[in-house]
Every structure is written in C-alpha cells, then in structure tokens.
Structure 1
Amino acid sequence: MSTVASLALLVSLSASPAAAPQAPRVFAPDVVSSANEEFGAAFTPDGNTVYFNRADPTRFTFQLVMVSHFRNGRWTKPEVASFSGRWRDIDPALSPDGKKLFFASNRPVKEGEPVRKDFDVWMVEREGNGWSAPRHVPEVSTDETETNTSVTADGALYVTRTPTSPGGKRAIYRHGWKDGRFGPGEKLPAPVNDSVHGAGNHYISPDERYLLFSSEERPGSLGRYDLWVSFREGESWSTPRNLGAAVNRGDVLTPVVVPARGVLVYAARLPFQMEPRAKPYTTDEFEARLRSPGNGQGDLYEVALSAVGLPTDKAAAR
C-alpha cells in the first residue's frame, strides 16, 4: 500500500471510545491531529477531554497546551488551555483522579524575572470547572531540564530530567509523595535508565505495575526514538520490550494510556514521503498532503492496548 493510501485509511477512521483500533490510526484527524506539530496528550479519567501540545512549525521556538472535548460523537475544535499561551509549555500530565495537571514550562518563577533557559515542573489544580493559577513545583525542579511527568495513584511523580552538560543523557526519576510534598528524586535503575541511550518521554501506570518510555537507538530499536515497556519486578524492572513495528515508525514520543477508551495514545513524526510514488502528485494532491496529518509534523496516534500487549483492566490502570 502506498504512503498516500495508508494515510487516507488512517484518516478515514473516526475516534470513538467504543471502538479501540487494533492497528495504529491518527487520533482525531484534522481536529486534534492536524497539519501542525502535536504531541504530549493527557486525558481526563472519563477519556472525554484531552490536553495536548501544539507547536510552531520549527517545533522548538514555541509550544502551548490546548484542550479538546469529546461531545456528540466528535472532538471539539481545540482551544488554548486557560493556564497556557504565554510561555513555552509542554508535556501535560493529569493525575489519575483528574484533579491535578502537571506540565513543564520555561516561564519565570516570579513575574518580572527572565525567562528560564531550562524547563521546570509546574502544576494546576481543579477548581470547579476550571483550573487554579499555575504553581511552580520546586521539589522536583532543578537547574537541569525537567520535562515529561507522570503521576501514580499514590501521588508519586515520575519526571524526565536532562543534564545541561554536553553529552548528558536524559533519565527518569521518581519523586515520592509524603506529608504534602514531593521527596528527593530517585533515579530508576538499569535496565530502564541507560547511560548510553537515555530514557524519557514516559508514562507510569497509576499502580506502578509498568512503565512506558522512549529511548534513542537502544539495541533492538526499529527507528531513532522507539517506545518500550518495562514491568516492575519487586524493587527492579524487567528488560524493556520494544512495542513493535506497528507503533515504532518514525520518531515516537509521549505515550499515555487511556483506560476509559482502551487505547494507547502517542506522538509520532512520520516522514512526508516513505515510499516512491507510482504517479506524480497533482497540484491539488500535494497541497492536500501539506494541509493534512502525516505531512512530516508530529501527530497523535491511538492503538488498542491489547494490540501492543498492555494490560486492559481499568481497575489496575487507575
């Protein structure tokens, strides 16, 4: 099947909580996933609201958090989240109960201070139908860069931390929650963290049974950035398993499990053209490709949990 035909098949499938796809498909095509750069999805417990990142065409100059709701069988036009839009805000993550949302930002800790050169962790809390003012989380923010976060049912926060020193590899840390604050970060041991290939862009199941993460060209990789899963074994972690060729196409990042929808949602940047074309593009075809998901920018994809060997029981995932 040609690249164009494959894309058309993906886009033709609509997002529905009742029909978890067995093969990866574009999530909410032309609404959430668009011709722009999208990544970093986070869902409310009922699976009917998604927060996600949309970025400028360069991917690295400006990013903000947007929100869309599933209503009357379709996703609404995304809007900028109430706490975002001024600074570079990335990687939203909701607590399992939906009452807290964490994200990374380069915003100054105090109004009037310079924009930070690194990313720190911030959070908002649910207040009625909206969110509180963003609060800096100093216990997990350092002079290094903290990006992706993921929250357990017990309140522990898993954080991706990237050293500022040249050549340093990102790694995943766990900050336990006790007495109303986060404790010191504990770097996850090998085989999750790998000083050669790094680990990050993670999702921890609320019961801490398993961890999804991305790693760069780890042995057994199918691309540059692949998704892997590791299961807890007492105080250690199992040898990571690659999620397979159906998922790991292009650069694959920011996984999140959505129990209410029975799916894994992740971001992937697929090349604009992966196979030679049998016929030249027409002007209209080429312009349509440029305006659609799959144009080389990042898009969100979804796939059934069962299709990638992840637990499907909702009780364990909350």
Structure 2
Amino acid sequence: MSAFLSLPLAMLLHAAPSAAPEPVLFAPGVVSTGQEEFGASFSPDGRTVVFNRADPTRFKFQLLMVSQWRDGRWTEPEVLPFSGRYRDIDPTFSPDGKRLFFASVRPQSASEEVHADFDIWFVERTEKGWGTPRLAEGLNTPEAETNTSVTREGAVYVTRSPKEGKRRIYRHAPRGDGWAPGEPLPEVINSGHGDGNHFVDADERYLVFSSQRPGGLSLDGFDLYVSERTGGQWGTPRNLGPAVNRTDGALTPTVVSARGTLLYAQRRPFLTTPPARPLTTKEFTTRLNSPGNGNGDFYEVPLTAVGLPAPGK
C-alpha cells in the first residue's frame, strides 16, 4: 500500500457530500424482505451476495444465505450448504473471492454442543463449490470475534467484544499460513463507544465502521464513520452524514466495488407518524411482510454520495 493518498482521494475522504440522496433498497422482495437481514458481502464481480437472515428476535438464530445475479435479476436466496444448523453471522469475502470468512458458535471439539462465544471461521470457494469450514487459527481469543474485513495482502481486521466492556477493532497481520496476534487500532478509532462492525478497503486506504461516539445522528443506534490511513496512521473519523446516518442507525457497511456503492443494513420503523387514513387489513398485512417493517433491510448509496472513492481510484 502507498504510504500516502493521492490528493483527489484525500479530498474525497475529507469532504462530506453537499446533498444527501435517498438510499435505494437493495433487491427488494428477494434479498431485502420482511425478514431480518444484515451483514452482506459480495464477490469481486458483484454477482454473488452472501448475507444473514435471522429469526424475528434477531439474537437467537442466524444463518448464511446466498443469492446470484442471473438473467438480470437476483435469484431466490438459499441457505449455504455449510450453514443452517448453528448461529453463523457476518460473512466477508476475501478480495480475490476465493475465501469467505464468517463468525460462528459452531462446536470446536467433540465435547461441545455449541461454542461459548463467536469465533472466526473461513471456507474456501472454488469453481466446484464450497469447501468445509475451518477455524481461523490466530484470529480467535477467549473474547467474542464477529465482523471481519480482509486486505489484499491478507491482513484481517476483526471486531472483538470482551465479556465486559465495549467492542473494538483489531488488525491481524498475515504470518505464514495464518495470522499474527491482533493489534488494536488506535484510540482515534477505538474510542470506547462500541466501535466495530467494519469494512476496510482492500489496500487499507480507508476504514468504514459503526460507532456510538458522541455527535452521531441516530438516537440510540450506531452511525457510520470513515477514517483514512496516511503514512500508516489512521486519521480522525468523519461521520458519513445523512445520506446514511439517520435516526434509525446503520449497521454492517460494505463497499461493493462492482456496483460503485456503499451497502449497509438498517432497521427502519414500521411507522413514525399515523397514516393519512386507516390501513385496511390487506394493507396492514402487506406492510407487515414487506421491507421497512422494523426488521433489517439492505440499502445502498453511490460511493460519491458519502465521499468515498470510486472503484479503482
């Protein structure tokens, strides 16, 4: 990675957009539905998306789904062949698309029914399909590990949550066939306000993450921020602004280079004000089973709308 950013990139990352476009619902009725969805990751060509669906309580059971872009539309999602039994969350493709990382409570020994907390696993993806998940040795500790993001050189950024205290982001450098012990990102990132849920640019030019630090736009949730890396140092994060951060908060950001967008999950309330007229039974039922019913859905905005560089820039 270059030790410095080009001037145009630095200007983009420092400058908030002048207008906030309306985010677009991603794959409505197929990927974004009336169910709880979050944590999407795309293959490099943008034609495969892996994401989470969860039970209505959001915290009891989650699995990994996959959808493909075929014949001008997204296919009906299916459970990945290695998921569906244990709680699997936060999928992340490596930059070359050959490996998928995820967090799981699946057992790690014959004596376990489920593991005590989330740890990081990965599975290889080939032309023949998906391999068998393997525990990501070197990325896990007695604390809970969830979100990951992978650089082009093989470093893995991990969100780690202690049993008591706020989550933080760690960077694990590649070492041999695995990874070195994690180094926490500096206090400018790990502010003590639940920083994590992140995406790192493949060349480590910038980091997008969620935080409850003071000054956010959401009432009780998390805002998304971006920090640029110059000379090996992370800069002061910038709030991504009202194009993304609203009173509902935002989660699980990912940059989809093939689409030129930032995609994230958001739980928008069923209603914020009374409807102009009474809802009929059909209308109420339709809205209950549609995106925007209070469960998580995926929204996306152009990268330029949130001051992030276009693909390849």
Identify whether the pair has TM-score above 0.5, normalized to the shorter chain: yes
> How many angstroms apart in 2 are the aligned matches of 1:48 and 1:58?
30
Pairing partner for 2:272 from 269, 274, 281: 274
Per-residue Cα deviation, 1:68-127 (whole angstroms, up to 9, x for no partner): 001111100000012211100000000000011000000011245231121000000123
Q: Aligned partners of 1:247, 1:147: CA distance in 2, in Å?
A: 22
Q: CA shift at 1:302, angstroms?
A: 1.0
Aligned residue for 1:200? Answer: 196
Q: Who is 1:44 aligned against?
A: 43
Give the secondary structure class of the aligned counterpart of 1:139.
coil
Of residues 183, 186, 194, the one that matches 1:186 is 183
SS at 1:307's partner residue? Answer: helix
Match status 1:74 vs 2:70? no
What does the per-residue CA deviation read over 1:248-305, in whole Å, with 9 as the maximum and x for residues that have no partner? 1213110000111111110001111123322121211111110100000000111111
**Which position in structure 2 is the counterpart of 1:285?**
283
Distance in 2 between the 1:207 and 1:22 partners?
27
Size of the aligned set, in residue pairs, is: 291
1:22 positional shift: 5.0
1:184 aligns to what SS in structure 2? coil
Match of 2:243 in 1: 246
Q: Which one of 294, 304, 315 corresponds to residue 292 of structure 2?
A: 294
Please tell me the residue identity of whatever aligns with 1:133: T
Cα distance in 2, alignment partners of residues 252 and 182 from structure 1: 30
Q: Percent identity, aligned pairs only? A: 61
Which residue, out of 216, 221, 227, partners 2:216?
221
Name the residue aligned to 1:175.
Answer: 172
Q: Go from structure 1 to structure 2 and tell me whether the alpha carbon gap of 1:302 and 1:129 turns closer, same or farther (over 3 Å shift).
A: farther
**Mapped partners of 1:290, 1:72: distance in 2:** 30
**Match of residue 139 from structure 2:** 140
Give me the TM-score of the superposition, normalised by structure 1: 0.89
Structure 2, unaligned runs of 5 or more? 1-19
Query: Whole-Å Cα distance in 2 between the matches of residues 68 and 202 of structure 1?
Result: 22
CA distance in 1, matches of 2:222, 2:68: 29
Question: Could you say what secondary structure the match of 1:315 adopts?
Answer: coil
Describe the SS at the equivalent of 1:306. Answer: helix
Alpha-carbon contact 1:27-1:33 (below 8 Å) kept: yes
Name the CA distance, whole Å, in 2 between partners of 1:31 and 1:134: 26
1:108 aligns to what?
107
Displacement after TM superposition at 1:129 (Å): 3.0
Aligned-residue offset at 1:237: 1.3
SS at match of 2:284: helix
Q: Aligned partners of 1:121, 1:44: CA distance in 2, in Å? A: 19
Equivalent residues of 2:268, 2:295 under 8 A apart: yes
CA–CA distance in 2 between the matches of 1:173 and 1:70?
33
Q: How does 1:48-63 map to 2 (within 5 A)?
A: 48-63=47-62
The CA distance in 1 between the partners of 2:208 and 2:119, in whole Å, is 22
Moved over 6 A (4+): none
Residue deviations 1:201-227 (CA, integer Å, cap 9, x gap): 0000000000000012x1220012111
Residues of 1 paired with 2:202 and 2:82: CA distance?
25
TM-aligned CA distance change 1:261 to 1:80, over 3 Å: same
> What is the DSSP-based 3-state SS (H/G/I as helix, E as strand, rest coil) of the residue aligned with 1:284?
helix
SS in 1 for 2:250: strand
Counterpart amino acid of 1:306?
A: T
Task: Return 5+ residue gaps in structure 1 as ranges.
Answer: 1-20
Alpha-carbon separation, structure 1, partners of 2:240 and 2:74: 27
